[in-house]
Amino acid sequence: MPVTEDTGTAYAWVPGAAERERSRLLAAMRRWGYDSVEELHRASVEDPEWFWRAVVEDLGVAFDEPFERVRDDSEGKPFPRWFPGGRVNAAELCAHRHAVGERAGKTAVVYEGDSGQRRSLTYAQLSQQVCRFAANLARLGVRAGDRVVLYVPVVPESVVAFLGIAMIGAVAVPAFTGYGAEALATRLRDSEAVLLVTADGTTRRGKRVPLKEVADEALESAPSVRHVVVVRHLAHGVEMRAGRDVYWDELEADPEPVGTAATESNDPLAIVYTSGTTGKPKGIVHSHAGLAVKAAVDFAYGFDVHDDDVVSWITDMGWLVGPLLIMGPLQLGATIVMIEGVPVHPHPGRMWDIVERNGVTVQGIAPTAARAIMASGDGSFADLGTLRSFVSTGEAWDEPTWWWLFKEVGLSTRPIINYSGGTEVGGGLLVGYPFLPMKPASFNGPLPGVDAAVLDADGAPVVGEVGELTVRNTFPGMTHAFWRDRDRYLETYWSRWDGVWVHGDLASVDGDGTWRIHGRSDDTIKLSGRRVGPAEIETALLKDSRIAEAAVIGVPDQQRGQRAVAFVVLRERAVDQADLEATALRNAGRSFAPVLHVVPTLPKTKNGKIMRRAIRARHLGEPVGDLSSLDPATPLTDIPVSAEQEDHR
């Protein structure tokens, strides 16, 4: 029986026969002779040579030439080569092979615009356009191994470009459309890109974002770029430099065809840059075979996506979800719906309208997006009859928002498939399998092939305690290293414990196999010697229905080492501060109750993640670092500087 919000001790989601019978992973387990997920997981870790061969066959990851073996560790554990000797190309897997036969006329890609635009491509059209764009890239002098930056919204051309680049063996470098000129220039320079694909602009909350103008400024300090291809997305006239710039629709209509490159399994497919509050962005290198196999596993076995599914997500090509939507559902023959903008514009029910209009079966939604919709007060959820499940990623859930999505929107009949991993591992480490029971805001296991563990400060595995989320093996999809920076890669992930990948998240796992993420480990707060993730305190604060959003940081304290400070956004203006603090004390407990600051907004990235480290730096008067991803609608100046810092000014 589903749990009530008060007990929190039983399962919220209990699957029925339909979820078990549909499950691709359970069907594969039966063929492979395994009775439980635990047995299969153990085999996937202990016998990777068998497991990954079985996966490739089961999910139809078709290699043009067979690989010699699954893994080559000759360069050391942190630098495995996967499926060496095999030949496989992402364009063939995700487009060309589906362009013949019964899938040719099936819708492959749908674009839903910020202002109501909608365009789509069938698999046949996608394949034809990929071939045309690949041939035009070759005409413009792009060769195998060259880098091409994608600074373009999630219009159909973005999918065509990604796969066209792959088709000729070049390397795609997706860049977030929220970046300013210097952030874009940094990625152009670091990757030594030879071509940039952009658009005349995009929109966010109905307001124009001038992508071409930003690109022009960035190109002033990126001399390696020889050509710029511009998509006429908004039909706004932009300045075009003769000899360098060309509109997408003015590329050769019938160029000399090029063949699909026979890329080796480990040839780079994409460099996806991640950025933090300090330091140079990290260029995460993903290969054709590694990302293809990992995406297929996560979407087929983790999310249970079949070829009759429609998978929808608000995303951007600059974050891993953009490439994963291409490499996962399209590889499996499903339909993807890529959504530009934010979930509450032009109205709070936008996402549910998209579900109804497109027959969406799997809807991606971040906790931040769910909080924004919930805060709008809109209770109309259109017709969600086709919707089978939600998938969430990007940050830890707070339970009040999770329960709202599960009960009010999903009517307690649709699982929320929680999914956590990162750009560096090509997808997920932990998942909430829809065919297994789930507790709220949690995960019910690692993904197949991932030997995840929670380790204490001494590197020992712990159960029922918060520790470091680690991986004790390697698997396809993990980055091949940082672009031209192996030493930094080793220092970042492999330097703490010998042969152990330290992911950077705080996590816990209970005796019943329930996993939870407690935030980034570098955001950890230590209160009177007890380590706690900010998400735990934030979840407690959000039990107060007057609080719409919360961000908790740790600041120095002479007596306790650190104290917790919370910045909260309220749903209503007239709230008694003393009562608010008393409620926070009751919900969080005396040991963890934070100092409260009511603020108009919380600084977030343009894709909705709260920037806790920037909040902490601002509050303590420290350098705030790279703010290229800050959404200008959520200024950092809304965060007050601490009284101690004001006294020093």
Share the mean pLDDT of the chain.
Answer: 92
- Residue 40: pLDDT band by 50, 70, 90 thresholds? very high
Question: In this predicted structure, what is the pLDDT of residue 627?
Answer: 81
**Which residue has better confidence, 645 or 115?**
115
Highest mean predicted confidence (pLDDT) among 322-326, 366-370, 516-520, 600-604: 322-326
503 contact partners, CB below 8 Å, separation of at least 6:
422, 424, 425, 429, 468, 469, 470, 471, 493
Percent above pLDDT 70 for the chain = 95
**pLDDT one-digit tens code per residue, 561-616:** 788 999 999 998 788 899 999 998 888 877 778 999 999 999 988 767 888 888 98
Question: In this predicted structure, what is the pLDDT of residue 223?
Answer: 97
Q: β-strands 171-174, 107-112: how paired?
A: unpaired
170: tokens are 């070049």
Question: In this predicted structure, what is the pLDDT of residue 122?
Answer: 98
Question: In this predicted structure, what is the pLDDT of residue 7?
Answer: 38
Question: In this predicted structure, what is the pLDDT of residue 593?
Answer: 84
Give the residue-averaged pLDDT of 46-56.
98
Question: In this predicted structure, what is the pLDDT of residue 626?
Answer: 73
Question: Could you give phi then psi for residue 482, rounded to 5 degrees?
Answer: -80, 150
Question: In this predicted structure, what is the pLDDT of residue 182?
Answer: 84
CA angle 550, 556, 562 (to 5 degrees): 70
Give the residue-averaged pLDDT of 218-227.
97
Q: With 90 as the cut, is the pLDDT of residue 474 above it?
A: yes
**pLDDT one-digit tens code per residue, 542-552:** 889 899 999 99
Q: With 70 as the cut, is the pLDDT of residue 646 above it?
A: no
Alpha carbon 437 to its chain's center? 24
Give the residue-averaged pLDDT of 245-259.
97
Is the Cα torsion angle 407, 355, 173, 122 positive or negative in sign? Answer: positive
CA angle 301, 431, 295 (to 5 degrees): 45
Distances in whole angstroms, Cα of residue 463 to Cα of each of 453, 460, 614:
9, 10, 32
Q: Bridge-partner residues for 560, per DSSP?
A: none
Give the residue-averaged pLDDT of 230-246.
94
- Residue 199: pLDDT band by 50, 70, 90 thresholds? very high
Highest mean predicted confidence (pLDDT) among 3-7, 557-561, 620-624: 620-624
3-state secondary structure 278-297: CCCCEEEEEEHHHHHHHHHH
User: Domain locations in the chain?
Assistant: 531-648
**pLDDT one-digit tens code per residue, 488-508:** 999 999 999 999 999 999 899
**pLDDT one-digit tens code per residue, 398-419:** 899 999 999 999 999 999 999 9
228 contact partners, CB below 8 Å, separation of at least 6:
195, 196, 197, 198, 215, 219, 241, 244, 245, 246
Rounded Cα distance between 509 and 445, Å, is 9
* Contact by Cβ (8 Å): 36, 44: no
Q: Bridge-partner residues for 207, per DSSP?
A: 204
Rounded Cα distance between 493 and 490, Å, is 6
Question: In this predicted structure, what is the pLDDT of residue 22?
Answer: 97
Residue among 181, 203, 184, 204 nearest 193 (CA): 184
Which has the minimum average pLDDT: 58-62, 622-626, 642-646? 642-646
- What is the radius of gyration, based on Cα positions, of the chain? 24
Question: In this predicted structure, what is the pLDDT of residue 9?
Answer: 55
Which has the minimum average pLDDT: 253-262, 335-344, 540-549? 540-549
Q: With 70 as the cut, is the pLDDT of residue 535 above it?
A: yes
Q: With 60 as the cut, is the pLDDT of residue 647 above it?
A: no
Q: With 70 as the cut, is the pLDDT of residue 331 above it?
A: yes
Q: What is the DSSP letter of 178?
A: T
Question: In this predicted structure, what is the pLDDT of residue 2?
Answer: 32
> Does 3.30.300.30 match the CATH number of domain 531-648?
yes
Residue among 468, 598, 594, 615 nearest 540 (CA): 594
Q: pTM for the full model?
A: 0.86
